[in-house]
Chains A and B, each alone.
Chain A
Amino acid sequence: MTDTQCPAPIGFADVVDYWAGDLTQAEEDRIEEHVFTCAECARQLAAAQALARDITSVAREGRLHSVVTDAILNRLAADGVRIRTYTLEGSGVVPCAVWADDDLVVSRIRADFEGADSVTIVTRQASGDEIARVSDIALRPGQREILNAFSAAHLRNLPATRVHVTVTGQTGSEERIIAEYTLEHAGAFDRLASRG
């Protein structure tokens, strides 16, 4: 039972694959046998586990400001995260607001992204101040929708304002605007207070 320096440390890639469940049974067994005899590699595994746990906490607490997927939204909903969704498609102004019991607000941005290697989404207030920018969003072939998530806690700090969303596509070194949308943000509301 001595804590000596490991002569053959497990690589971080293997530690991550182990924690993610992407190894064969034999590979898993090998890592477990090593970790139970090596304090240094046990610490490495504990560090990866702690990060994985904290990523889970950030997501579960609705603190993601990012592009998400339906799989992520389904898991969040199963965990009790309250999600408000607005669909941005075509022209026209979309009315929106954030409520006291919302955890996450998601824009479903629908457009023809054909030909773009990646896209950037910039969300601005009418004043021009940026609310959020997500760059270099990778696209699947045929993808027609991007889900952009905002922490509701952050949006509650916004004043009532018109909000502009610009989607720019990158193809090689060229950039072009793919779509622009407008939302009329009415501010933050509390259902109970509004009844009184």
Chain B
Amino acid sequence: MSRSLPVLTVTAVLIALWYLAVIPMNATWEYDQARRAGSELPFAEMVARTMAQERPVLPAPHQVVIGLYEQTVGCDAVGRRMCRETTPLTVQGFGQRVAAAFTSNRSLIYHAGVTLSATMLGFLIGTGGGILLAIGIVYNRAMDASVMPWAIASQTIPIIALAPMIIVVLNSVGISGLVPKAIIAAYLSFFPVVVGMVKGLRSPDAMQMDQMKTWSATGGQVFARLRLPMSMPYLFASLKIGIAAALVGTIVGELPIQQGGLGVRLLSGSYYGQTIQIWAALFAAAILAAALVGIVGLIERRVLARMGMKR
């Protein structure tokens, strides 16, 4: 309880501040409308209206929560039949609705799935590539001298500018759909992995390296038994950053491809002025990112505990 109390307190304060902020931000529109209709607007009624606008400048927290519900397992998202036959109040009904939501493209769960598939693929490619590059940098002086500055510079190029071009180039050689999105995700996630792994592979100190020498360990053994295990904490720290970066990359990559996904929902909410749709998609993306980082954190704790490196 003591661990969650600070979080709960801070969250409660933030939500209270959010509610307070809704009033002045949405008030202008209400007063504008009232002025054009030529009617008076008492304060209490104005406050109530700002909390229930269809196109709010700042939606109230309950609007976002309701929006999230409706767009994940609500009636509109799962179809009329599912809505009639199941109720989300029981565990079984909720589960049925979630299952139906996976196949309905009106549901955020479906779109989260689309985003997730590209994210995972991009994350795998980026991590694999990043680890290989890190090994190259640590073991090959030429690569160390020449590649590292360009890896840093590559992250200063705004990916949102490159993404459409990468996709057009890949389409022109016949690669389309999931793979271009994954490649953009990999582009963003490989850099943290490279930096972390380079640091980690170089972390054994002189004493430990000498020890391996006294055991006449081969290069491969030094790598597998000393450098690699010692780099695990750094690797997991980078993986957490990398998977969040992969998610951002996927969302950016979805925009030019327009075949579903949370990024597309974000933008289409913006086109049609459906503010609540934007916020619901935004929070769904954040929840997905938090969940992914949390899963990596869980795996980290397990692996490091088994290796005896519990922090």
* A interacts with B: no
